[in-house]
Amino acid sequence: MKLAVFVSDYRMTVDTLDRLSPEKMGIILVQNGVYHATLKENGTPSSLLNKSAEFYALKEDLETRGLDASKVDSKVKVIAMGDVVDLIFNDYEKTAWI
């Protein structure tokens, strides 16, 4: 199964993601979840970015929070809302929101 997971919170544990085992996973950072793409704690990136997945951050949510897309971790691709729709319909069979 190919699974797209929307992450909308910054303060979350990765326990739920650890229990998922799709053949392909895309993590789409939205709302406050975009902080995973830009903030570092004690000099290290978010542990979420250690997952085996493709990472995306919604450009509009970065801009709303005053975050600079050029500061996004290199593992994360910045995408627009139209790109999210394309991912859901073309690249992933199922979606989840955590």
Sorting pLDDT into bands at 50, 70 and 90, what band is 87?
very high
Q: 29-64: buried (b, 16+ CB within 10 Å) or exposed (e) per residue? A: bbeebbbbbbeeeeeebbebbebebbbbbbbebbee
> What is the domain-level CATH number for residue 8?
3.40.1260.10
Rounded-to-integer distance, Cα 33 and Cα 13, Å:
12
pTM of the model: 0.91
Q: How many independent structural domains does the chain possess?
A: 1
pLDDT, tens only, 9-66 = 887 666 778 888 888 999 999 999 999 999 887 878 888 998 899 999 999 999 999 9
Domain range enclosing 78: 2-12+20-97
